[in-house]
């Protein structure tokens, strides 16, 4: 009884260690994944004249505007993941939209949703279309 249990434990441990070794070998032979490089895109966020997410105002009205726009975008299931993740920055009622979207239609849909909440002349779009 005890011997059979010890053999099962030994087999389990060896299979776990063997699987780990195989996975480690597989990663080294295929090469490390290339890290994402958003340096060029993020350079625009270093410009102090451009609104960034950390500059979102904490006033109740600005937070409400941002929240309503985000809900409207996320609830639209026809939009891509890119579109669902655009940056929305509201400062004193002025909304700035940033980030990539898949199509011109998505860009226009997001701009329209933001304008519906904030007002037509209160939205600045810095959305870009990425294939």
C-alpha 131, offset from chain centre? 16
Query: Taking each helix axis from N to C terminus, what angle separates 104-118 and 60-75, rounded to the nearest 10 degrees?
Result: 140
* Within a domain: 78: yes
* Within a domain: 76: yes
Residues 80 and 112 in one domain: yes
For the chain, give percent helix, strand, coil, nearest 5: 60, 15, 25
How long a stretch of residues is the chain?
131
Query: Quick one: CA torsion of 50, 107, 113, 70, rounded to 10 degrees?
Result: -60
Q: How big is the CA angle at 81 (ends 77 and 82), to the nearest 5 degrees? A: 125
Residues 77 and 125 in one domain: yes
pTM score over 0.85 = no
Residues 79 and 112 in one domain: yes
The domain containing residue 13 runs over which residues? Answer: 1-31
Residues 56 and 9 in one domain: no
What token pair was written down for 15? 């299979």
Q: What is the pLDDT of residues 81-112, one digit of tens each?
A: 999 999 999 988 999 999 999 999 999 999 99
Residues 55 and 118 in one domain: yes
* Within a domain: 41: no
Residue 72 has pLDDT above 70, yes or no: yes
The residue among 50, 64, 72 whose CA lies nearest residue 93 is 64
Q: What is the pLDDT of residues 17-41, one digit of tens each?
A: 665 554 555 454 455 565 555 555 5
Task: Report how far residue 9's alpha carbon sits from residue 20's, in angstroms, rounded to the nearest whole number.
Answer: 17
* Within a domain: 83: yes
* Within a domain: 75: yes
What token pair was written down for 16? 């776990």
Residues 58 and 23 in one domain: no
* Within a domain: 73: yes
- Domains contained in the chain, number: 2
Residues 79 and 123 in one domain: yes
């Amino acid at each position: 009884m005890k011997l059979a249990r010890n053999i099962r434990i030994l087999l389990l441990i060896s299979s776990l260690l063997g699987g780990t070794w195989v996975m480690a070998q597989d990663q080294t032979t295929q090469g490390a994944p290339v890290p994402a490089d958003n340096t060029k895109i993020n350079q625009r966020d270093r410009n102090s004249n451009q609104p960034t997410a950390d500059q979102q105002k904490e006033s109740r009205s600005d937070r409400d505007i941002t929240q309503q726009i985000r809900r409207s975008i996320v609830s639209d299931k026809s939009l891509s993941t890119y579109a669902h993740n655009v940056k929305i920055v509201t400062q004193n009622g002025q909304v700035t939209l940033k980030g990539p979207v898949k199509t011109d239609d998505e860009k226009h849909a997001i701009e329209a949703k933001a304008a519906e909440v904030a007002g037509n002349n209160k939205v600045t779009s810095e959305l870009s279309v990425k294939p």
